[in-house]
Amino acid sequence: MSKRNRPLMLGCAITLSSILLAACGGSKPDVGEQKTTAVPQEPTEVYFLSTSTYWWDEATFMKEFGEPLQKKYPHIIPKTVKLTGMNTKVMEGLIAAKQPIDVILAANASYLLYLKPYELSSDIEPFIKQNKVDLNRFTPEFIDMNRKLGDGKLIGLPLQDSPTQILYNKGIFDKFGVPYPPHDQWTWDEMFALASKVTRMDDRNQYYGVRMHSTFFRRNPYSLEYVDPKTNKAIFNNDVGKKVAEMYLKQYEKSDIPGLAPDGAKMFFEDRVLAMWMGLGASYNTPERYIGLDWDMAPIPVLPERGPVSVQPYPDYMYLSSTSKQKELAVQAMEFFTSDSFQMERSKNAYTTPLKSSQIKAAFGQNAELFNGKNVSAMSPLKYAPVTTYNQYTNQAAATIIPKHINDVRDGKTDINSALRQAEEEVNKYIEENRK
């Protein structure tokens, strides 16, 4: 998992004073759930490691995952690897100490940083075939992305997706007599036009229309490839790359200098001068940030020429550790955590499911008071954008190098064409310096 906290952890609250982390226990398997083959039934410890703070707290892990897993499979004794921080030295220390690790939770960037360099992932395809796991239950882009991470091999199963919606402040729209964002499909042009109507000064306060987290580049709706996987050369200085950059920069139209500040979350939750916030996987704070905020959700816009296509997914995957001595049990746990029954409970507790099931998606937030009356259909797009290549080079390009140069355009230091050219040069230099 990346440095962000658990996706939309604010949504797991039944009240604003506590976060609901309810476990799902004892549910009968739904129709279509996979069957597992026979495995040793003697009590066996299975260790779970997360590359972020998720799963570090044993009590929370056991309530959310361990207890329901053990209720389903009494022979599995779930253990979480307790940590106070995660970096490469910590991972190397765990490996040197021969810490048992069976299942590892990580998002794409963390996989590249903490798993791939140490060859800690395994091909799970043999187990998938052996256990007759139905991959068609999953949203296809989630499986496609994992195969791209695994150089064609399936090395993980998705547990959940990052937040994929727009949060909007109803009070700002009411203040200016502007209609709220639609609850169903709309386009990027329509979103920016609406943002323009609420970007204005009032009572000596400047209000802003929309801000997007820089994760936009990683999840861009054009499915722009940043690096050619065959030649390992940057390939984004083109017409599509310019469209992606222009789309990102459009959020700053009509903004004054203070409005160029990149912290959209602060503008939305603390200053409350931002009408729409598209976090795209950025960290969300506790529900206390919502006190006194009249808010709702709208879907991520689509590109008319591409149909109901939103942005690319950015899920958290469960990986089978290459060092695991309990691989069959580890995969059995992974299967359970992606089962219909378990995912239904997680959806009710405000976690975005990786499964196709419309019934599970519709149940989102039912146990979370924070989402009562909200447009929860906005949490999952009708269709994700096709996924692009994801490796060390593309991650560096999308997460660091390109945003830096495009922000120079925002700040009036350069133009788009120069920024794309300079970014491509820097990406190629990074590739040369880091190629093995």
Say if residue 243 is exposed, middle or buried (CB neighbours under 10 Å; 0-12, 13-18, 19+).
middle
More confident residue, 303 or 40: 303
Instruction: Work out the number of other CB atoms within 10 angstroms of the CB of residue 161.
Output: 25
Kindly report, residue by residue over 172-193, the tens digit of the pLDDT.
Answer: 999 999 999 999 999 999 999 9
Query: Please, are residues 71 and 333 in contact by the beta-carbon 8 Å criterion?
Result: no
Q: Please determine, for residue 34, whether its predicted confidence score (pLDDT) is greater than 60.
A: no
Angle at 113 between CA 110 and CA 115, to 5 degrees: 85
Q: Which has the minimum average pLDDT: 108-112, 153-157, 379-383, 429-433?
A: 379-383
Distance separating alpha carbons of residues 342 and 199, to the nearest angstrom: 43
Q: 40 falls in which pLDDT band (50, 70, 90)?
A: low
Amino acid at 258: P
Dump pLDDT digits (tens) for 124-174.
999 999 999 999 999 999 999 999 999 999 999 999 998 899 999 999 999
Mean model confidence pLDDT for the chain:
89
| For residue 318, pLDDT beyond 80 | yes
Kindly tell me if the per-residue pLDDT of 335 is higher than 60: yes
Residue 393 tokens read as 């080079």
Per-residue pLDDT band at 29 (split at 50, 70, 90): very low
Closest CA to 91 of 117, 122, 61: 117
Burial class (CB in 10 A: 0-12, 13-18, 19+), 121: buried
Q: Are 180 and 168 in contact (CB under 8 A)?
A: yes
pLDDT at 282: 53
Residue 16: burial class (beta carbons within 10 Å; 0-12, 13-18, 19+):
middle
Give the CA distances from residue 345 to residues 353, 354, 355, 417, in Å, rounded to whole numbers and listed in that order: 10, 13, 13, 48
pLDDT score, position 31:
35
Residue length of the chain:
436
Over 80: is that where the pLDDT of 20 sits?
A: no
| 28 CA to centre of own chain | 29
| Predicted local distance difference test score (pLDDT) of residue 38 | 53
Residues 6+ apart with CB under 8 A from 118: 91, 92, 95
* CA dist., res. 399 & res. 120, Å (int): 23
310 in Cβ contact with 385 (< 8 Å): yes
Going by pLDDT thresholds of 50, 70 and 90, the confidence category of residue 41 is confident
Average pLDDT (408-430) is 97
Does residue 284 carry a pLDDT above 60? no
pTM: 0.88
**Spatial separation of the C-alpha atoms in residues 202 and 208, rounded to whole Å:** 11
- Separation between Cα atoms, residue 343 and residue 316, nearest integer Å: 14
- Dist. CA 193–CA 177, nearest whole Å: 15
Kindly state the average pLDDT of the residues 284-304. 88
Decide: 45 and 384 in contact? Cβ < 8 Å: no
Domains of the chain, first to last: 9-162+316-379 (3.40.190.10), 166-311+391-434 (3.40.190.10)
Using CA atoms, how far apart are residues 6 and 286, in angstroms rounded to an integer?
Answer: 11
Phi/psi zone of residue 80: left (φ > 0), alpha (ψ -120 to 50 degrees), beta? beta
pLDDT(361) > 60: yes
**In terms of C-beta density within 10 A (0-12 exposed, 13-18 middle, 19 or more buried), how is residue 5 classed?**
middle
Question: Comparing C-alpha atoms, which of 420, 415, 417 is closest to residue 402?
Answer: 420
